[in-house]
Amino acid sequence: MYFSRGRAVSTAILAVAVIVILVAAGGGYYYYSTVYAPATTTPIKIGVVIQESGFLALAGVPGLTAIKIWANDTNAAGGLLGHKIQIIAYDDASDTSKVPALIQKLISVDNVDFLVTLGTVDTAAAMPVASQSGKIILGLFGTNANAGINYSKFFQAAPIGPDPNYDQVKGYFELANSLSPKPQTVAFVAVQNDFGQQCAIGGAKAVKVFGFRIVANETYPPTQTDFSSLMTKVKSTNPDIAFVCSYPPDSIGIVQAAKEVNFVPKLMGGGMIGPQFTALEAALGKTLQGVVTFAYWVPEPTINFPGVNTLIQKYEAVANASGAAAFDPLGYLYPPYSYAALQMLGQAVTACNCLGNNDQLATYIHGHTFSTVGGDMNFTSFGEWTYSRVLWIQYQNIAGASVNAFAGPGHQVIVWPATYKSGNLAYPFPGWQG
Amino acid sequence: MAFDLLLESIATGLLVGGFYAALSLGLTISFGLTDIANVAHPAFIFLGAYLALALSQAFHLDPIVSGVVLVLPFYFLGNALYLFYNKAFERRGESSLAGLVLFFGLLILLEVGMASEFGVGLKAIYSPYGSVALNIGPLSLPLRFVYSFVAGVAAVVLLQLFLTKTFQGRAIRAVAQDAQALSLMGAKPATVKLIATGVSMATAALAGGLILAVGPISPYQDRLLIGRVFAVVVLGGSGSVLGTLLGGILLGVSENITTIYLGAGWSLAVSAVILLAVLALRPSGILRR
């Protein structure tokens, strides 16, 4: 059969393009595993489905790095009950639809002992398959992912609390309630996705509890580019409190637009995901001064749990050595509780001495408190923390637009809860700077 | 107050529209004038944004200036891309489906390449006008959008002058209408498309600088952009540069007015209705090429 050279070239190019598409579409299946410390005995396999690429890799890469640091630390100390730790990690490319199949592969093919996922959406996607396996599931930051399933072997590591929607945001309103003069009115701005919806539901509950009045209740699509009109509209309602539930790119756009239209409520912030990421902090610089948002850990002296600073040093060394922009150079948000979750598991496996009996291990975890780099943690029957320790921080003493301007204590000052308070809230919001 | 709100939403919508137009110009040329369905164009815009970020960080340049600096290299990148496309597909009459697959493949390659090289997280750059407004009477206009609007309109004007006042520009418009007739007049359609693809890609460099000036970037953000830029091109009239500006402004203003009166959540739906209405009443868009 005649087959011209040109046709062969174009066919080959097409084939390459199709392969590239298939590989990319297949995502995680081709980002196979990182294995630590070859086992001298049967290793304990920890299967991780996480976002190593895609838009949520900003969370997944630091989280996985902390898991690897824990594995290295544990193996260096002789492993768990004499077994080395083996991490098998698959990248779901921030594509939730890939999660169930990857979880199934970890269970059926890799025969892992424990399962780990990160983020509410991915964890929720993993739960139907994972909960059938009978294995312990660690849902890092998988808030409320066990709702409706009530799987007894699920444990969520972030310190949010037993009523996740409400506990995640109640501190912001409790803080507002404690101010003098007490602010009265609230404007809600929420992104139209699962996070925004849950955040707004929690906020609405808090508004009722503390007796505020909602004067604006705005939502926006995740594709929103410009927030000027939205902020102008919110400003026209003259609220005392701005309560924003936003994702990373939007948080930046909202802060920029609020400053541009000179929207100055008495309390500016809310459940904003984004300012916590160092690259975005550095880009906004002094503009963040006075903004209040949540955190789970910050390098303030009032929340210096044993081992957390060592972890951060190790994390920052890995991040600096990699030179890859995938890393959050400071790592205050995801690494502490990712590491803490595995630390809790390690303590439980060792103390229970019941490796292989997940029912017994889960019962042990439910019945005990664990001391970790994220502080003491214990769990409700559905796997959330029994108490809330979400921190509310205010950006203060921001010297400029660089990573260093946000590094170390004194820049993300804890203003709530009182137990961990490291400074006073600048109130009313002093207005936009920078 | 209500009038101030309306005025402000129209003014910012106008600015955002100029920004949308700047993002869409490259597709207007490739999709509308040369019939090359370069669906990878938004990914090239983000490549421009990342390179502008690297330039800005290395030489302390403004992101928009970095975008302008990249215009010439991107022109040659466009030339190279067309030579490849022409040799592998177009010359053999396989430019439709096979070409589309090529550009899809290129889109994914670019995304993966950017993620590997620049990291997967959001990147942003500090600029002194990043959160500053230009106050005119009751209006507070975001400077980052004012500059993007000015750059977008300047690009539209320059491109329109190029397409109407120069031989090469007129040839690009002619190749879209009848490539065979153009070749009978002594011009080579392939050479004309080579220039057009270069110009199209050059606009991606400028758009990259603008997108970096406006907000944070990430390697997969191009997917959020694809629908909007195609909508602008189709609204304006496929292949019409001035139409692209009008399409961008129509979309920007409608989104902003919708935000004020119905809520931002409705803005995409209203944009879709406008697109459908324009296509129903003027199937070839606001301005025909």
Report the alpha-carbon distance of residue B74 to residue B68 in Å, rounded: 10
Of A17, A94, A282, the CB nearest to B102: A17
Task: For residue B161, tell me if it sits in a domain.
Answer: yes
Question: Does residue A193 surpass a pLDDT of 80?
Answer: yes
Q: What is the pLDDT of residue A276?
A: 81
Domain range for B224: 2-119+138-281
Residues from chain B contacting residue A229 (CB–CB below 8 Å)? 8-9, 12-13, 255-257, 259-260, 264
A221 and B CB contact within 8 Å:
yes
Interval B143-196: pLDDT, tens: 999 999 999 999 999 999 999 999 989 888 888 777 777 777 777 888 999 999
Among B1, B115, B132, beta carbon nearest to A260 = B132
pLDDT at B289: 57
Name the minimum distance, in Å, from the CA of A351 to any CA of chain B: 38
- CB contact under 8 Å between B16 and A225, yes or no, is yes
Q: Give the total number of structural domains in chain B.
A: 1
* Section A159-187 average pLDDT: 94
**Same domain, residue pair A94 and A77:** yes
> Do A218 and A264 belong to one domain?
yes
Of A394, A175, A158, A420, residue with least CA distance to A301: A420
pLDDT at A359 over 60: yes
Residues A83 and A141 in one domain: yes
Residues with Cβ within 8 Å of residue B158, at least 6 apart in sequence: none
AA identity, residue A195: F
Structure tokens at A213: 């009045």
Q: Does B91 touch chain A (CB under 8 A)?
A: yes
The answer to whether residues A190 and A137 belong to one domain is no
Query: Which pLDDT does position A26 carry in this prediction?
Result: 39
Q: What is the pLDDT of residue A325?
A: 59
Cα–Cα distance, A156 to A345 (Å, whole number): 12
Q: Check if the beta carbon of residue B223 is closer than 8 Å to that of residue A249.
A: no
Closest residue in B to A18 (Cα) is B105
- CA nearest neighbour of A349 among A88, A113, A103: A113
Q: For residue A271, what pLDDT is reported?
A: 93
Nearest CA in chain A to B8: A229
Of A333, A340, A337, A339, the C-alpha closest to A406 is: A333
The two tokens of residue B223 are 């997917």
ipTM value for the complex? 0.82
Q: What pLDDT does residue A37 have?
A: 46
* Mutation site, A61, A229, A230, interface B, largest B CB count within 10 A: A229
Q: Are residues A407 and A337 in the same domain?
A: no
pLDDT at A36: 44
Is residue A209 predicted with pLDDT exceeding 60? Answer: yes
Cβ distance A219 to B121 less than 8 Å, yes or no, reads no
Check CB contact under 8 Å for A259 and B104: no
- Give the C-alpha separation, A312 to A327, whole Å: 13
- Highest mean pLDDT pick, A140-154, A222-236, A353-367, B94-108: A353-367
Q: Which residues contact B273 (CB under 8 A, 6 or more apart)?
A: none
Domain co-membership, A149 together with A52: yes
The domain total for chain A is 3
- Residue A25 pLDDT: 41
Q: Is B126 on the interface with A (CB under 8 A)?
A: yes
Among A residues 47-106, those touching chain B with beta carbons less than 8 Å apart: 52-55, 57-58, 61, 94
Chain B residue with the nearest C-alpha to that of A276: B122
Same domain, A149 and A289: no
Provide the residue range defining the domain that includes A228: 164-298+390-420
Report whether pLDDT(A33) > 60.
no
CATH of the domain at A54: 3.40.50.2300
Cis link prior to A181 (omega < 30° from 0)?
A: yes
CA gap A207, A213 in Å, rounded: 7
Domain assignment present for A308? no
B140 → closest Cβ in A253, A261, A324: A261
Whether residue A290 lies inside any domain: the answer is yes
**How close, in Å, is residue B78 to chain A by CA atoms?**
18
Share of residues in chain A with pLDDT > 90 (%): 69
Task: Give per-residue pLDDT as tens, A330-351.
Answer: 888 899 999 999 999 999 999 9
Average pLDDT (A189-210) is: 93
Pair B8, B133: CB distance under 8 Å: no
| Residue A19 pLDDT class (50, 70, 90 cuts) | very low
Give dist(CA B101, CA A210) in Å, integer.
57
Contact yes or no for A332/A107 (Cβ under 8 A): no
Packing angle between helix A194-210 and helix A164-177, nearest 10 degrees? 50
In a domain, A152, yes or no: yes
| Among the listed residues A161, A142, A84, the one whose alpha carbon sits nearest the alpha carbon of residue A346 | A84
CA distance A150 to A172: 28
In contact, B44 and B221? CB cutoff 8 Å: no
User: Is A208 found in the same domain as A171?
Assistant: yes
Which residues in chain A have Cβ-Cβ distances shorter than 8 Å to B109?
Answer: 20
Distance between CA atoms of residues A274 and B216, nearest Å: 11
Q: What is the largest CA-CA distance in chain B?
A: 62
Residue A57 has what pLDDT?
82
Asked whether the beta carbons of B153 and B145 are under 8 A apart, the reply is no
> Do residues A177 and A279 both lie within one domain?
yes
Residue A380 lies in a domain: no
Q: How high does pLDDT run on average in chain A? A: 88
The string of pLDDT tens digits covering residues B33-61 is: 888 888 999 999 999 999 999 999 999 99
DSSP secondary structure of A281-306: HHHHGGGGTT-EEEES--S-GGG--T
SS3 letters for B212-223?
HHHCCECCCCHH
**CB interface of A with B, residues 111-150, below 8 Å:** none
- Put simply, the chain A residues between 24 and 43 with a CB less than 8 A from any chain B CB are 24
- In a domain? residue A407: yes
Structural contact between residues B216 and A281, judged by C-beta atoms closer than 8 angstroms: no
- A61 touches B120 (CB < 8 A): yes
Q: Per the CB < 8 Å rule, is A280 touching B119?
A: no
> Do A291 and A188 share a domain, yes or no?
yes
- Same domain as A292, residue A180: yes
Angle made by CA atoms A112, A113, A115, in degrees to the nearest 5: 80
Calculate how close chain B gets to A11, using CA atoms only, in Å. 9
- Nearest Cβ partner of B267 from A61, A221, A257? A221
Residues 289-308 in A contacting B (C-alpha not used; CB under 8 Å)? none
B130 near A CB under 8 A: yes
- Those residues of chain B that have pLDDT short of 70 are 1, 94-96, 288-289
Calpha distance A96→A54 (Å, rounded) = 11
Residues in chain B: 289
Tokens of residue A348, six digits: 């439980």
The domain that contains B53 carries what CATH number? 1.10.3470
Judged by CB atoms closer than 8 Å, whether chains meet at A14 and B98 is answered as yes
What are A217-238's pLDDT values in tens digits? 999 998 888 899 999 999 999 9
Closest CA–CA distance from residue B109 to any residue of chain A (Å): 7
A328 and B CB contact within 8 Å: yes
State which H helix or E strand residue A154 sits in. strand A154-156
Task: Give residue A261's pLDDT band: very low, low, confident or very high (50, 70, 90).
Answer: very high
The pLDDT-based confidence of A21 (bands split at 50, 70, 90) is very low
Q: Please indicate whether, in this complex, the C-beta atoms of A10 and B89 are within 8 angstroms of each other.
A: yes
CB contact under 8 A, A252 and B215: yes
Are B64 and B127 in contact, with CB atoms under 8 Å apart?
no
Asked whether residue A175 falls in the same domain as residue A141, the answer is: no
Q: Is B9 on the interface with A (CB under 8 A)?
A: yes
Pairwise CA distance, residues A167 & A269, whole Å: 16
CB–CB contact A280 B124 (8 Å): yes
Residue A314 lies in a domain: no
C-beta atoms surrounding A238 within 10 Å: 12
Residue whose tokens read 């739906």: B269
DSSP A216-271: EEEEE-TT----HHHHHHHHHT--SEEEEEB-HHHHHHHHHHHHHTT---SEEEES
